[in-house]
Structure 1
Amino acid sequence: MGKYKICVYAICKDEIKFVDRWIESMSEADYICVLDTGSTDGTYERLKESGIITKQKIIKPWRFDVARNESMKLIPTDTGICICTDLDELFEPGWRKLFDMYWTDNTKQASYRYTWNFNPDGSEGHVFYSEKAHSYGEFCWTHPVHEVLSYTGSEPLIKRVVPGVQLNHYADETKPRSQYLPLLEMSVREAPDDDRNMHYLGREYMFYRQWDKCIETLERHLNMPRAVWKDERCASMRFISRALMAKGDEKEAFNWLLKAIAEAPHLREPYMEAANLMYKQKNWYGVIFFCEQALKVTEKNLSYICEPFAWGSRVYDLLAIAYYQTKNYEKSLENARKAYEKEPGDIRLKENLSLIEKLYKND
């Protein structure tokens, strides 16, 4: 094994269907630790049978940070690198040697590439860098939900990226997220000056279609002195626009999208949301303008803000339709082909391409 002992640790509840494949993926580590928080489906028994370090403890009232801090107590004291994963996440093989290669004596925290979800065709959806690898005994988890690692050490916080490591998330879609909203509301009450949690809460209100609360909370986020990350500010503006759209105020929704573009012109997402609104209004030249602007953004930002719809077939699909409607069949065909190349399994894109090809030949 390498210079540093590695421990992968996790929390779980009723995840027996993931246990075996997760342990296999994590088996490159020296230690594997799991805190079971009350499984009734045999998960805990299966974990014990596997021979890993495990314990069962009920966390009441439930908080993710408390559970993860309890799981950290299972980590052996001679561990050099701690990596927190969930049972529905799998490392691609060879991850251990990369940590051995890039971790140094003064490293406190490391990040690695993380695919949060996959599109129906198997391509990657949300991709960003996770930073859940850390030194032993110098971190704790904070916040009831969307918990983060907080550094408690006395030495400088040195962070590194571990190139080549890939962690994939295969979410259990049957698990509800109903606990998230009350936990986020609690998190904001506990830390009212935390801009990230304010953004998360506003986004959660959007998921729950609580449009007025969404708008109010995200406007609070934008007015916070610490809310300076332009990508996240842009996302708050886009979500306000979505809420206004749902309330029927397309004019104000468009104004917020213009603000979002001005805030972060280096991102594709606000241009694409503006293009979607233009499409809804059948403003074909508006669709063309915003899509062409989106295509000028060629570097995909690997943060959690990056959304798959801005990087898939949608931009070419909209251009194909808009150029078709404005009778520029050559451009329409060019973009229809690109859209189909992006998603060759999409029947509608295939039919659109066939239709435009016939029209172009007869033009």
Structure 2
Amino acid sequence: MKVVVYAICKNESQFVDRWMDSMEEADQVVVLDTGSTDDTVEKLRARGAEVTVEQIHPWRFDTARNRSLELVPEDADICVCTDLDEVFHPGWRAHLEEAWEPGAGQATYRYTWSFNPDGSEGVVFWYEKIHARRGYRWTHPVHEVLSWVGEGKPGPMVVADGVQLDHHPDPTKSRGQYLPLLELSVAEDPEDDRNAHYLGREYMFHGRWDDCIATLKRHLAMPKAVWRDERAASMRYIAKSYAQKGEGRLARDWYLRAIAEAPHLREPYMDLAMLLYEQEQWEGVLYFTGCALEIQERPRTYICEAAPWGSLPHDLRAIALYRTGRKAEALEEARLALSLEPGNERLRGNVALLEQETAGQTQ
């Protein structure tokens, strides 16, 4: 079975050695460099990658991905698309080959998109950028996805348990190009619900609250917008935007709609708990954090965020219990929060304070 890694890059010299170490289990590595001015190309070639240098004008991620895919030889059995700031855990190829089956179309595998300051995992979901050689093309100028363009139906998706890819990005890189590319993407395909959701979210990132609200309300009205997790995320972003505009009642109402839309997710409960925390509505904080903690199965989708699965639920509960005079219970929650984020000095200080105050009560 021939496994080929392909990637695009520009000015990523700092990642070359780590990336090539990670990709060495592949039979071949091909890279499209889109205009590096550092020594990325030289370092990649020295490590054995086959590098083609070609600038993409106007810039689009799908065009660049498709050009890099064209560099993969036709006799490849499995194509593995990664970026230079990503790293596979050792043994990934064996796990992939074990999962792959004749006629398979794509593989899904575990992806850690971000890490917390203490090195623990942040946002984790399952990725689908490994695919068969024929029948696939990348679509959309940004947040590009693999689309089936071959005859008939694509082969089945296999689950590659044991394949783990970590993302360690350059924090200095700007994402300023995302917004105009998302606006272009929606203009090209206005009925694509996924792009409408992404555009509304991007407006939120840029503090364009009214644009966020209008775009995501349009997303929710689209006939194809049926995935409940993403619909709930749109409702949450609308709520966040209303909160930023000082319209707390509307924010609360939209958070409640998000909970009703996807009661199986922690995120809507925790967002509402945070709003109530800011309003010092402590019983509400306890209720909605409790609802969140009842959800034990972490989703595999990109909608899953880090904070609701970290120390935050217990941290908010500790504060709410303390503010309502239940210090012994607050100490239990504070200890749970610290156990999930042991490097957090504020949480450590909370535990110390509560231990001191509860010890004084029992004397």
Give the TM-score range, shorter chain: over 0.9
CA contact (8 A) 1:8 1:83 kept: yes
Amino acid at match of 1:64: F
1:130 aligns with 2:127: yes
Could you tell me how far 1:330 is from its partner in structure 2? 1.9
CA contact (8 A) 1:279 1:287 kept: yes
1:139 aligns with 2:124: no
Distance in 2 separating the partners of 1:51 and 1:124: 31
Amino acid at match of 1:87: L
Distance in 2 separating the partners of 1:101 and 1:315: 38
Distance in 1 separating the partners of 2:32 and 2:207: 34
Distance in 1 separating the partners of 2:231 and 2:81: 28
What is aligned with 1:187?
185
1:22 aligns with 2:12: no
Q: 5 Å matches for 1:334-349?
A: 334-349=332-347
TM-score by length of 2: 0.98
Aligned with 1:44 (options 41, 44, 62): 41
Aligned with 1:356 (options 351, 354, 357): 354
Amino acid at match of 1:166: Q
Identical-residue share of aligned pairs (%): 56
What is aligned with 2:106?
109
What is aligned with 1:244?
242
What is aligned with 1:166?
164
Amino acid at match of 1:104: E
Distance in 2 separating the partners of 1:156 and 1:139: 11
Distance in 2 separating the partners of 1:249 and 1:326: 26
Question: SS of the counterpart of 2:265?
Answer: coil
CA root-mean-square deviation: 0.9
Aligned with 2:10 (options 13, 19, 22): 13
Amino acid at match of 2:240: R
1:85 aligns with 2:82: yes
Amino acid at match of 2:120: S
Distance in 2 separating the partners of 1:51 and 1:332: 57
1:286 aligns with 2:274: no
CA contact (8 A) 1:203 1:214 kept: yes
Structure 1 runs of 4+ aligned residues shifted over 6 Å read: none
CA contact (8 A) 1:54 1:74 kept: no
What is aligned with 2:146?
149
Distance in 1 separating the partners of 2:193 and 2:153: 24
TM-score by length of 1: 0.98
1:55 aligns with 2:52: yes
Unmatched 5+ stretches in structure 1:
none
Distance in 1 separating the partners of 2:16 and 2:305: 30
Amino acid at match of 2:159: V
What is aligned with 2:304?
306
Amino acid at match of 1:232: E
1:326 aligns with 2:324: yes
Could you tell me how far 1:155 is from its partner in structure 2? 4.2
Unmatched 5+ stretches in structure 2:
none
Distance in 1 separating the partners of 2:282 and 2:42: 60
Could you tell me how far 1:137 is from its partner in structure 2? 2.0
Distance in 1 separating the partners of 2:260 and 2:241: 19
Number of aligned residues: 360
Distance in 2 separating the partners of 1:52 and 1:191: 36
Deviations 1:112-151 (A, max 9, x none): 1000010001111110111011111210100000000011
